[in-house]
Chains A and B, each alone.
Chain A
Amino acid sequence: MDEKRELLDLLRHSARESTADIARQLGIEEARVEALVAELEDEGAIRGYQAIVDWDAVDEERVTAMVELNVELDRETKYTDISARIAKFPEVSDLKLVSGDYDFAVEVSGDSMHDVSMFVSERIAPIPEVTQTVTHFVMDTYKERGIEFGDHTDDDRLTYSP
């Protein structure tokens, strides 16, 4: 694995690593780590750093829905035109063009089911190219971006073993 790939892999596991700790783990100089991170950010390979939050753990009322979206294209309108319009809404956390029965998979978040429903019906559905929306409310999250939710952190190994 080259240095950049290895750095990306490490950050994908934990973006909170300090430069010094990353340098120790990769066996390279701190200055080299800083330069690589800067390069990856400039190239657009690293788009941001976020925590993966289990909102249930902080008793925060938060509603998420996966919205299937069908659209109709014409000579002047491409997928990227529609996506640019939808992506601007802060309520949209994820937006992907997918293959299969529908065109876009949209993740929408809000403070209540009412908020999310209203957003879909008043902001997304009226977009001229949108022909259909199907909203699936998320009832529980068990795994997100490779991280399993729930209490699986107990280490039941012996304190010492051969």
Chain B
Amino acid sequence: MKRAERVQAIPPSGIRRFFEIAEEMDDVISLGVGEPDFTAPWAARTAAIDSLERGRTSYTANRGMRELREEISTYVRRWDLDYDPDEEVLVTTGASEAVDLAVRSIVDPGDVVAVPQPSYISYVPTVTFAGGEALGVPTSQADDFALTPEALREAGAADADVLMLCYPNNPTGAVMTREELAEVAAFCREHDLIVLSDEIYAGLRYDGEHTSIATLPGMRERTVVFNGFSKTHAMTGLRLGFALAPADAVTAMNRVHQYTMLSSPTTAQHAAIEALRSCDDAVEEMRTQFDRRRRFVISRFNEMGLDCFEAKGAFYAFPRCGGDDERFAEELLRERNVALVPGSVFGSGGDGHLRVSYATGMAELKTAMDRIEAFVADQWSVA
């Protein structure tokens, strides 16, 4: 069957080979999972059950239930984000859909989207599907994986149309300070870039408060913010996210949304309302557990000689393996039954690193770290 060129242009996922190896193995401890090992707070789950029992199985408004948009509008004020629930909030089927809607409603064929790397693996394909051109902007451990105006300039992003951001970052766990974001914001204003800011990990920051670039002077009108319930509320399977943007941008995104998704799952929207109303304590408990695991994992990597950047957000550590990261990941999986993701999968700047998800229980995490330590000691020479 014929396939569209822009689909054929997308290479297979860099981790597919590892999937296939892992599927044939038993007793694999996976640190390759980008989702919490916790389940959604029980109150949110009971709200979902209740909505089904009451037969609330119809479509909702395209933009999402007004009740939920109001809760979202209140929720994001903790990060100084102020958006009108009627005009400037769009409920989407996961933050992934929000990213796709924004790209499709903003990017014209041939437009250039600057994507800092390493970054979440879906950004570049999303841009390609929309007919845009992704421009990789390398970040490095020397800069704590923060994006800098120099890196943007050197990569040629001054001529780009859009900048994609993801802080706290997947896969590095890096965060950006208000001052660092202010420099990037100045670059965007100077060169008239629209910013798509994926802040799905905003609630998982461990060293202070999250700053959204949309709160910086002159940025609200040129920024779309994405967030959702998958990571902080452990609701990955419920597929619910949202976008915040000026009314005209939300209207444009909703135009695409209403012809593709129509509306996001009603059950999940009921769960999300309850999640925002009563689950802050449950979220804080999960954040506390992640924080402890973060310190543990980073400490263990440094002790075993794999230099580990001090991630301050999300739930990933990003140690240097001191060699070919793909070979490290494959040998570790085959010989010590630990699955993690080679950093090079996430683009330039990820080479020689490993993405290690600590969204796994402490007991398994300890066993996995012991296995990695034995692997490094017996079979791997750190360059």
Contact = CB atoms under 8 A, between A and B. Distances in A.
Interface of A: 1, 9-10, 13-14, 17, 21, 24-27, 155, 157-162
Contacts of A25: 292-293, 295-296
Interface stretch (B30-38, B85-93, B128-136, B261-269): B30-38
A161 B295 contact: no
A159 B19 contact: yes
Contact of A26 (B15, B34, B170, B295): B295
Given A9-B288, A14-B362, A24-B300, A159 B295 contact: no
Interface of B: 15, 18-19, 22-23, 28, 30, 32-35, 37, 120-122, 170, 288-289, 292-293, 295-296, 299-300, 339, 341, 360, 362, 366
B32 A155 contact: no
A162 B121 contact: yes
B34 to A, nearest CB: 5
For the residues of A in contact with B, the DSSP-based class is: loop
Contact of B295 (A1, A14, A27): A27
A157 to B, nearest CB: 5
A161 B33 contact: yes
A153 B362 CA distance: 13
Nearest to A161: B34
Nearest to B333: A159
B299 A161 contact: no
10 contacts: A10-B292, A25-B293, A157-B35, A158-B33, A159-B18, A159-B23, A159-B33, A159-B339, A160-B32, A161-B35
Contact of B22 (A10, A26, A160, A161): A160
A162 B34 contact: yes
Given A160-B18, A160-B22, A160-B339, A21 B366 contact: yes
A-B interface, 5 closest residue pairs, ranked by CB to CB distance from nearest: A25-B292, A24-B299, A160-B32, A159-B22, A24-B296
Nearest to B298: A24
A159 B28 contact: yes
Contacts of B293: 25
B16 to A, nearest CB: 9
Contacts of A160: 15, 18-19, 22, 30, 32-33, 339, 341
Given A24-B299, A25-B293, A159 B288 contact: no
A25 B299 CA distance: 8
B328 to A, nearest CB: 15
A22 to B, nearest CB: 9
Contacts of A9: 288
Contacts of A161: 32-35
Nearest to A17: B362
B102 to A, nearest CB: 18
Contacts of B292: 10, 25-26
A21 B363 CA distance: 11
B296 A162 contact: no
Contacts of A162: 34, 120-122, 170
Nearest to B19: A160
Given A9-B288, A159-B28, A160-B15, 5 more contacts: A10-B292, A27-B295, A27-B299, A155-B37, A159-B339
A158 B237 CA distance: 12
A158 B20 CA distance: 12
Contacts of A159: 18-19, 22-23, 28, 30, 32-33, 339
B19 A24 contact: no
A112 B295 CA distance: 47
B368 to A, nearest CB: 13
A79 B92 CA distance: 59
Contacts of B120: 162
A35 B120 CA distance: 43
B31 to A, nearest CB: 10
B362 A157 contact: no
A136 B168 CA distance: 52
B349 to A, nearest CB: 17
A162 B299 CA distance: 24
Contacts of A157: 30, 33, 35, 37
